[in-house]
Amino acid sequence: MHHFLLTREFHVQVSVPPALEVLRPPPRSARMKTRLGCEMLETREVPAVFNWLGTLEGGYSNPNNWYGGGLEPPKSGDDLYFGTVPQGKTISCVVPQAYSFVGVHVINGYTGTVTLQDNTTAGVLEVGSGTLAAGATLTATKLFSYVGGSITSAATPGIIHVTGTAQTGAAQAIIGSVSNLGCTVDVVGIGAMGAKLNLTGGTINTNNNSCIVVQGYSTSKNSSAVAFNGTFFVVDGTHDVPVNAPFTAKVIQVSGSEGVFNAHSNITTTGGSFFLIDGHVNVDGGVDFYLSNSQALQMDSGFFTILTNTASLTVKVNGKFTQNSGTVVLGTSNPNGTANLATLHITGKTELLGGKVQAADVVVATLACDLIECDNQIQFGASYVYDIAIPPSVPAGTKFMPFRATLGFVGTPIVAGYTVSTSQDSGGWWGMYITKN
């Protein structure tokens, strides 16, 4: 038996909606031939944070001595931290060349030495423990903090610049009670930006003849005494000594026409003098200058000003006072018309060799005026001027005593419109009197 398969041919026409036409691939011959490739994207630098481990040989250049840094050692733009390291491992680190870091932090109980062999810049440079060794100049552009540990230098002394710029903003330096400052700290503002030094109190010990140079603004913490055994320079900057915060340094020098030293507490120099070379020293509140070993308060130019608006006061110089030029300004007139007398009391010899004294106040009822008194001798230069503001209503013949000394006087000052005379009182003091012509 034969079986036959019957078939029927069907022709079906299907129409494709227009929206689906785009899904139909073009003929192979019409396809655009493309080649895969890589496109360079914008570079984005992210500062890496490196934590020192010091576990292997190779020191700084071995990336395995660092945690968090990746496959290479730190470079410019990175942030370095030196804290605790594994017990028994190499803890010191030598940075072999010049870099510009985000920060160098020697903190958290670190006991080794970090040596920066070449000129190094860091936004933040802080030392709280261990030792930072400066092989060259170090620059902090945002913050320098030294509150513990030691700073040493291969130079004598090394330099730490704390600089504010228009790009980085104002910089700040903080120095606490520390045992070993082996670099000179130079706090300076650049252009319109400034730099500020905060002395938080306590003793700042130095070596290598290190000093502090203020070319920006500096101040001590309120009610916290500061003792610095180096030379403290104010060069076209300002240093404020707050009330109840006595300030001690080996030598203090104020220089530059913009240099200002404001003393609201006692000032002591332990191994030298207080020098005023141009600039301004402003004293109030009964402040004393204690100069060790009969050293000198020396004024070569500028203004040494003792002012009060509330009561009469005396500023004591425990040592010799030499004025070669410039102006000593005494007293100020209260707005209500009451005079507030200021006295400069000097225990050593007083040499008023050049410049002048400018006295603002008198009390006519008691014939009293601002006064310079000396427990030794007062010597006047041939051209020294005494300038006193006496009301025109004071009659001729009125006598005032602006100077007195236990050992008398050498020479006389020039006092326009007055006759100068001297006499000794029953207590042994010599007075120099001026009488209105």
Instruction: Please provide the size of the chain in residues.
Output: 437
DSSP for 113-148 reads: EEEE-S-EEEEEEEESSSEEEESS-EEEEEEEEE-S
pLDDT at 28: 53
Question: Residue type for 62, please?
Answer: N
Tens-digit pLDDT string for the chain (437 aa): 444 443 434 344 444 444 444 445 555 555 555 566 656 554 445 678 999 998 887 799 999 899 987 789 999 999 999 998 877 677 899 999 999 999 999 998 899 999 999 999 999 999 999 999 999 999 999 999 999 999 999 777 789 999 987 676 789 999 999 989 999 999 987 665 678 999 999 999 998 789 999 999 999 988 899 999 999 999 999 999 998 999 999 999 999 999 999 999 999 998 878 999 999 999 986 789 998 766 789 999 999 999 876 678 889 999 999 999 999 999 875 555 567 889 999 999 999 999 999 998 888 888 889 999 999 999 999 999 999 888 788 889 999 999 999 999 999 999 999 999 999 998 899 999 999 99
- Can you tell me the distance from the alpha carbon of 155 to that of 129, in angstroms, rounded to the nearest whole number? 21
Tokens describing residue 323: 């004025």
Q: How is residue 40 annotated by DSSP? A: P
- Can you tell me the distance from the alpha carbon of 229 to that of 182, in angstroms, rounded to the nearest whole number? 12
- Can you tell me the distance from the alpha carbon of 424 to that of 432, in angstroms, rounded to the nearest whole number? 9
